[in-house]
Amino acid sequence: MPYRSKAQRAYMHIHHPKIAKKWDKKYGTAIHKKKGSKRESN
């Protein structure tokens, strides 16, 4: 699962470093924003 925000990336590296390193290797360090939200903003 790629990172959704900078905050999530920081949290994962602090609290779950093994998983964070695995994600970095598999998905890279780029932030992947969710496409198409269920909630619409007006």
Residue 16: per-residue pLDDT? 95
Residue 29: per-residue pLDDT? 82
Q: Which domain holds residue 19?
A: 1-28
Residue 41: per-residue pLDDT? 56
In a domain, 12, yes or no: yes
In a domain, 6, yes or no: yes
In a domain, 37, yes or no: no
The 10s digit of each residue's pLDDT in 1-42 is 688 889 999 999 999 999 999 999 998 888 877 776 666 555
In a domain, 35, yes or no: no
Contacts of 27 (CB under 8 A, 6+ apart): 1, 2, 3
- pTM > 0.85: no
Number of domains in the chain: 1
In a domain, 42, yes or no: no
In a domain, 21, yes or no: yes
In a domain, 8, yes or no: yes
Q: Hey, what's the torsion of the CAs at 33, 2, 13, 21, to 10 degrees?
A: -150
In a domain, 40, yes or no: no
